[in-house]
Amino acid sequence: MSASGKLPRPVSVSVAENYSLNVTFNNGEIRQFDVSPYLAYPAFEALKSRSLFAQARVAHNTVVWNEDVDIAPESLYLESTEI
């Protein structure tokens, strides 16, 4: 977290193995986020498609896949581990 209390924002993302994402944040940190626990929820079920999962991109200050699926930016940072 920054000195101002705001969480860093994602600036780039790459797909890693086992439904994980490597996310670079605007503070320079690179963190790994495991999406697999989310796949049990109907809202994220479409991400089981590896071709859709591979389309992860940064938009609107978070990671998105299409107009229907995204991850809360707070979760991306707080539930990820630094790599």
Residue 33 — very low, low, confident or very high, per pLDDT cuts 50/70/90? very high
pTM score: 0.91
Checking if the pLDDT of 3 tops 60, the result is no
Q: Which two tokens stand for residue 31?
A: 């963190």
Q: Which two tokens stand for residue 10?
A: 């994602």
In a domain, 63, yes or no: yes
In a domain, 78, yes or no: yes
In a domain, 2, yes or no: no
Task: Give me the pLDDT at residue 52, please.
Answer: 97
Cβ atoms 8, 29 nearer than 8 A: yes
Task: Give me the pLDDT at residue 5, please.
Answer: 75
> Residue 55: which domain range?
10-82
CA distance 38 to 34: 8
> For the chain, what is the domain count?
1
Mean pLDDT for 7-25 is: 97
Core vs surface per residue 27-40: b (16+ CB within 10 A) or e? eeeebebebeebee
Question: Residue 50 is part of a domain; what is its CATH number?
Answer: 3.30.2020.10
